[in-house]
Amino acid sequence: MGDSRLLRTGIIGMGKMGRIRKQELDAHPGFEIIAVCDSNVDATNDFPDLACFTLWEEVLSLDLDALFVCTYNSVAPDIVCAALAKGLHVFCEKPPGQSVEDVQRIIRAEKKAGGKVLKFGFNHRFHHAVMEAKAIVDRGKYGRILWARGIYGKAGGLYFKEDWRSDKTLAGGGILLDQGIHMLDLMTYFLGDFVEIKSFVESCYWKEMDFEDNAFALMKTEEGKVAMIHSSATHWKHKFSLDLFMEDGYLCINGILSSTRSYGEESITFAKKQFEDEALAFGRPREEAIYFDRDDSWRLENEEFHDCIIGKKKLPQGNSEDALKVMRLVHKIYETGQ
């Protein structure tokens, strides 16, 4: 790879996500990390070979090509807009801010930046089970989608209340904005735009917190496809499941690979619809299941970002349009459920 393909890159926010991104970027020959930044100086101590900063504005004064924004929802939109204005390509972790207005502001900055690549971290689309599901749906063998059901739940844990994700100012939303947004992104990815929404947004257990610990939503597209989702911080056993039922078959994703494997094995099970004339036992069709042992989502996401920058290609997914769609959905669920 020639130097022209090597992108001088900075990372803002060296918490969990910043570190994951750094590890993956280090493994990609097209990124050269120049600087890292975190408001907590201790968070940058592990990177003595890099320029380290506590103020993100200082990073933007460097000669960079790309910036990864892995910091609080409250400041991410400001950083993204400033980076775009400086002419950088920007990758921003989800959620893309706290509000629909945040995303709209980012889109205005993107338009002004003219041609810079802006990508948001909806990495679940790059999990192997999800890519397999997309191939099955796109193949059309099972017909059009009728309905979908998704559950994404985790256990809040001992320090849930103290976590920045539970801070009203920094986060701007509860479990739905933090984790459920992935499931909503997948629902729009597979089913399209939702025009009708009914929901419950509840504090079932963590009553003293500012935000919901559970969100339940029923959503319908203009074509009548219905999706139900449950996003939970009181799912004491971690769970990820996404079922898509089509006219002539179905697929179920169970588990999603994470560093601790707490969401279980990642698998997809699929089968053709079989009535009494075909099935060995009616209601128990012959199924195939694929189990995935590797999470390549971060790598693939970075590769797509890099390819679009170098190849001057239109970003196929995780773009600002996707971000706006999903943020509208989050806030519609909040509005109707609270």
Partner 1 sequence: MIRYEFIDSSVREEDIHPDSIFDRERFMARNFVRDMEIAGGIQPCPVCGTGRHEILITKWGNRYAICPETWTISLATMPGDKTVFRYYHESRLSRFRASREYQVMMSEKRKDLWEGQIGWIEGRISRYMGNDRYRVIDWGSKSVGWLESLNTAGFVESLLVQEPLPPIGESPGFEGPADIVCLIDVLQRQTNPHGLLEKIAGRVRTGGLLVASCRAGSGFDVLTLREKSESIFPLDHILLPSPRGMERLLESSGFDVLELTTPGLLDIRYIQNAAQSVPTDQYFLRYLLEQGDEFLLDRMQGFLQRNNLSSHMRCVARKK
The residues binding partner 1 (CB under 8 A) are: 128, 131-132, 135-136, 138-140, 280, 286-294
The answer to whether the bond into 95 is cis (omega within 30° of 0) is: yes
Nearer to partner 1, 203 or 269 (CB): 269
**Nearer residue to partner 1 within complex by CB, 120 or 142:** 142
In degrees and rounded to multiples of 5, residue 244 shows phi and psi of: -125, 120
Q: Are 192 and 223 in contact (CB under 8 A)?
A: yes
Report, in Å, the least distance between residue 310 CB and partner 1.
18
Minimum CB separation of residue 293 from partner 1 in Å reads 5
Taking the complex as a whole, the smallest distance from the CB of residue 135 to partner 1 amounts, in Å, to 4
- Kindly tell me which of 158 and 281 has the beta carbon lying closer to partner 1: 281
Min CB(97)–partner 1 separation in Å: 34
Name which of 137 and 329 has its Cβ closer to partner 1: 137
CA gap 114, 152 in Å, rounded: 36
- Decide whether 91 or 250 has the Cβ nearer to partner 1: 250
Amino acid identity at 271: A
The Cα–Cα gap between 142 and 46 comes to: 50
142 contacts 245 by C-beta, under 8 angstroms: no
Shortest distance in whole angstroms from residue 333 CB to partner 1: 32
Helix, strand, or coil (residue 244): strand
Q: Which amino acid would we find at residue 60?
A: L
Give the span between the Cα atoms of 116 and 84, in whole angstroms. 7
